[in-house]
Structure 1
Amino acid sequence: MGPAGTEPVPDPDDNRRQVLYWRLLARLFDPEEQASLESASLAVVEDVGLPPALLDPATSVDSVVQRHPELAGEFDGLMTPEAEPDGARDRAAEVRRAALASKLLLNVFSTGSGAVSAGQLARWQSDAGWLERAL
């Protein structure tokens, strides 16, 4: 909370997470990039030590995990985080989970329209498998 009589001070991790969620919503409803959301999301992803490839809709989760194998464990059970022992929230970890979850959700639910190649279908099926593992 800020000084007496002022508004509460926003948590920077809450702001980072909100940027990622706004980008997720924007990309789900419009495939066009929103430059300000993309640049802010890139800054967030880099700040939390994640690869920028998470923001590339053309990159499959398999490709990301192949280049960054340490992320495989983070995708497993991603949507079911364990409770902190003292009841406190690890807001920095929530930002990482938001970035990883956004990747999964966009790759599975923002597929575009039109004809689909066998390669695109296989990539989507693989990403859907990663989403199942996250749930």
Structure 2
Amino acid sequence: MKKILCLSIFVAVLLPVTAFTIDDNPLLGKWEHSGKSQGQPFNLMAIFRANGTYDGFINKKEFVSGVYHMNHDTLYIADATCNDKYNGTYKMEFFGKLDSLKFHVIQDTCVGRRQATDGKVFKKLVTAGK
């Protein structure tokens, strides 16, 4: 009986620690937000990779590259446009079948990054063969 209790406690403690592994990180892949700025339509796409790097595109033109890491539902993100030694911090809110995502700024002094992400809903782009 003690073995079962100890095993149950071990699993309960270990499970949250392993909740986000590289293989099941819901942020991996391509995400897109469409909107309007000064009356003109635009597409913002971000690609998050398993190696901790990301790229951002506006209307299919790359405008930013950087690094990120996740801790549960919190994203830490940095890029050279806003000082690559500084991390912006965002709460990630996933919807549906993890195919929609909303960013909530916790702290980010980078005005451009904050304006492009805070409160915006992104849809996951599905690639052929998935």
Taking structure 2 as the reference length, the TM-score comes to: 0.24
- Structure of higher RCO (CA pairs closer than 8 Å, 6+ residues apart): 1
Which protein is bigger by CA-based radius of gyration? 2
Which is strand-richer, 1 or 2? 2
Taking structure 1 as the reference length, the TM-score comes to: 0.24
